[in-house]
């Protein structure tokens, strides 16, 4: 495992990339409403990322390999029982949906990665509770970040809060190191035991992005090679921030204007 430690100059570039990613979510929020297609959300985000911010949409044409086409859009939109990596298309949002919009931009060679859950109209009580718990779980994990802590501390904090509320943690997908590359070491699991795993060091940057299911934790990959859904068709929610390990704790690089951690 090779974990990159960012220099002060690289940290500044990561801050700029993180602010840009957060700005995209702030921009798209008023457009997430009933009757809008996820393809339209993708178009608006792409134009803002490229035109307004002068950045690159990292997901577009990312990850092609044998048997799998590159990701075809600039953002991910994951609705209701879609866990992650939903591909924008003609599907129209309807009242009561919950949708995760996942943004990754490249600015001056560095990546900023963040995602947010949105309500389309008024959500059901279960959907709201799952969404709010997932956000709390993300921040519970982030609050464990400091030099000398271990990744198991982060994962345990997420898992403990989620399972205490009756939700399950998706095991197959996790957070990741980030910087000049979209996905770097280490893998950041959202479950684990305290005091285990990689020791955190000032200058590391990685994402904390738990996926919680209202039902069982098992997921399946659809034939498009990207879209991941819950096996039991239960609701799923995800939140994500990019985090920097500082000398004294942590800094969230993708906070949006007006966003206050719980």
Does residue 256 register a pLDDT over 80?
yes
pLDDT for position 31: 98
Name the more confident of 61 and 258.
61
- Dist. CA 189–CA 174, nearest whole Å: 5
pLDDT for position 57: 98
Q: How confident is the model at residue 21 (pLDDT cuts 50, 70, 90)?
A: very high
The pLDDT of 175-200, averaged and rounded, is 98
Kindly report the backbone phi and psi dihedral angles of residue 237, in degrees, each rounded to the nearest multiple of 5, phi listed first. -140, 155
Instruction: Say if residues 4 and 11 touch (Cβ distance below 8 Å).
Output: no
The pLDDT of 35-50, averaged and rounded, is 98
Cα-based torsion angle of the residue sequence 204, 23, 104, 139 in order, rounded to the nearest 10 degrees: 50
Does residue 77 register a pLDDT over 90?
yes
Residue 83: count of CB within 10 angstroms of its CB: 26
Buried b (16+ CB within 10 A) or exposed e, 3-42: bbebeeebbebbbbbbbbbbbbbebbeeebeeeeebbebb
pLDDT for position 261: 86
The rounded mean pLDDT for the chain is 97
pTM (global) more than 0.95? yes
Q: How confident is the model at residue 203 (pLDDT cuts 50, 70, 90)?
A: very high
DSSP H or E run through 221: strand 219-221
- Dist. CA 44–CA 52, nearest whole Å: 11
pLDDT tens digits for 83-130? 999 999 999 999 999 999 999 999 999 999 999 999 999 999 999 999
For 13-65, the three-class secondary structure string (H helix, E strand, C coil) is HHHHHHHHHHHHHHHHHHHCCCCCEHHHHHHHHHHHHHHHCCCEECCCCCCCE
Residue among 102, 99, 127 at smallest CA distance from 37? 99
pLDDT for position 96: 98
CA atoms within 13 A on the CB side of 95: 2
Tokens for 2? 């090779």
> What is the fold of 8-252?
Creatine Amidinohydrolase (3.90.230)
pLDDT tens digits for 44-68? 999 999 999 999 999 999 998 777 8
Residue among 143, 156, 197, 176 at smallest CA distance from 242? 176
């Amino acid at each position: 495992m090779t974990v990159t430690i960012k220099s002060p100059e690289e940290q500044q570039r990561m801050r700029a990339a993180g602010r840009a990613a957060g700005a995209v979510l702030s921009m798209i929020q008023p457009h997430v409403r009933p009757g809008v297609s996820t393809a339209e959300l993708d178009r608006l985000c792409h134009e803002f990322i490229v035109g307004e911010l002068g950045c690159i949409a990292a997901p577009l044409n990312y990850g092609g390999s044998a048997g799998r086409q590159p990701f075809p859009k600039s953002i991910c939109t994951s609705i209701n029982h879609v866990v992650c990596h939903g591909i924008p298309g003609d599907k129209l949002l309807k009242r009561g949906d919950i949708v995760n919009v996942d943004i990754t931009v490249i600015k001056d060679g560095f990546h900023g990665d963040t995602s947010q859950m949105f309500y389309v109209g008024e959500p059901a009580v279960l959907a709201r509770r799952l969404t709010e718990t997932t956000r709390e779980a993300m921040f519970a994990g982030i609050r464990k970040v400091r030099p000398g802590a271990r990744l198991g501390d982060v994962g345990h904090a997420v898992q403990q809060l989620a399972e205490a509320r009756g939700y399950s943690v998706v095991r197959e997908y996790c957070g990741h190191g980030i910087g000049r590359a979209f996905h770097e070491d280490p893998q950041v699991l959202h479950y684990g035991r305290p005091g285990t795993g990689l020791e955190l060091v000032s200058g590391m940057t990685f994402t904390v992005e738990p996926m919680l299911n209202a039902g069982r934790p098992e997921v399946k990959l659809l034939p498009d090679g990207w879209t991941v859904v819950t096996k039991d068709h239960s609701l799923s929610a995800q939140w994500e921030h990019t985090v920097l390990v500082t000398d004294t704790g942590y800094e969230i690089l993708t906070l949006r204007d007006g966003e206050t951690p719980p």
